[in-house]
Each structure stands twice: as structure tokens, then as C-alpha cells.
Amino acid sequence: KIRKQVGVTTPELPTSIISSSESLIKSNIHQYYRGLGVVISLAIPTRIIYISVLESSRERIESNAREIILNPPASIAKYNNQLQSLLPFVTPFSGGVAGGLAAVSSQMIVVPMDVISQKQMVMDDSTYKHRGSALHVVKSVVANDGWSGIYRGFGLSLFTSLPAGSIWWATYAGCKDQMNAVQNTAFDSIPAL
């Protein structure tokens, strides 16, 4: 699979599950763990960026949207009643937009990480020994394909992660908001002793 993704063609490229299994047994199992250092070293910073962008943008988007709805500018003040009806949608909207922004920001690191580690995985042993470091792989990709080569597959990654992140965090924020409303209502109906 990885060889197909990075464009390495070999005459004996397996075409079935059985031949893939035979290829795995014949090959050096260690090559499938090449690039693990790159992935491990970038996984935690990527997650930190994802959560930081998610939380900071969600808070800003939500506060700005609530401010506009509650204190609309003069140009839309005549629609105040309609704007007030949008208040229940502010939290899911801010969660969805923040989730999309977080997905884009994390893919800026994940895609180059995947390109580098996959290139390392498909190198034969002699090439890997001489030019298998992450720095050599980056230099090679940039020399052959330019900086855009580091981001090969970025569009497809966004095609999957952007809607997934937006839908996930919009749903999460909306459900959390609804559950908080139900919880607050339930506690208000309990008589005090």
C-alpha cells in the first residue's frame, strides 16, 4: 500500500492478499518501522497544536458571535428578533468552525510527517543506510518535487479531516450545550431543603 502511495513501482508489486503476505514475510520487517522516529517526534506537537487551535478559536468565535447577536451593529439591528433565534446555534457553530481550523492546522504537520516516513519505509536497505535520515529525505523530496512534494496528499487529507473535524466538534459542542441545559433545568426543579 505504501509503495503505491509514494509512487514506487516494482515489477513484483503484490496484487492480492496472499502475495502481500508473502511479500511481508520475504521483506525486512524492520523497514515497516522506518520513519517511526519522525512520527513519534511530531505526534505530540501536532496534538498540542490541534487542541490549542481548537480551544482558542472556539472561545473567540463563540464570544464574537454572541456579541454580534446580543449587540448587533446598526446595519442589522432591525433583525434583532431573528438574530436572537440564532443563539442556540452559536455553540455548535463555533465548535464546527474551530474543529475545521484545528484539522487544517494539524494537517500542516501530519502530511509532511507521513510523506517523510513513507519515503523511508519504501527505501531499500542500502539506500536507507546512506540517505535514510529524515533530513536527507526532505532534501531529496524538495530537490525532486519542490516544497509542494512535502505536501503531497494535502488536499486529500483535508478532504477527509476538515469535514470530520467540523462535524465532530459541532456535534460535541451542541450535545454538551444541550446536556448542560437539561442538567441545569433538572437541578432547578429539585426543591431545596
Which whole number is the average pLDDT over 173-177? 91
188, pLDDT greater than 50 = yes
CA distances from 7 to 3, 28, 107, 137, 159 (A): 6, 20, 21, 15, 21
Which whole number is the average pLDDT over 141-160? 92
* pLDDT the model gives residue 108: 94
Q: In terms of DSSP H, where are the helices of the chain?
A: 2-6, 17-26, 36-70, 80-84, 87-122, 125-131, 134-145, 154-188
Q: Which of the pair, 39 or 193, is modelled with greater confidence?
A: 39
* pLDDT the model gives residue 130: 84
* pLDDT the model gives residue 100: 96
- Any idea what the Cα angle at residue 138 is, between residues 157 and 35, rounded to 5°? 70
The fraction of the chain above a pLDDT of 70, given in percent, is 79
Which whole number is the average pLDDT over 98-103? 96
* pLDDT the model gives residue 1: 46
192, pLDDT greater than 80 = no
Identify the band that residue 126 occupies on the pLDDT scale cut at 50, 70 and 90: confident
Comparing C-alpha atoms, which of 69, 90, 95 is closest to residue 81? 69
7, pLDDT greater than 70 = no
* pLDDT the model gives residue 134: 85
Q: Which of the pair, 31 or 27, is modelled with greater confidence?
A: 31
Which whole number is the average pLDDT over 180-184? 82
Least confident range of 3-17, 58-72, 169-183: 3-17
Q: How far apart are CA 127 and CA 143, in angstroms?
A: 17
Mean pLDDT of the chain: 84
Which whole number is the average pLDDT over 123-151? 87
Which whole number is the average pLDDT over 130-148? 89
Please tell me the pTM assigned to this model: 0.74
Neighbours of 45 (CB within 10 A): 12
Q: Which of the pair, 7 or 185, is modelled with greater confidence?
A: 185
Q: How far apart are CA 84 and CA 32, in angstroms?
A: 56
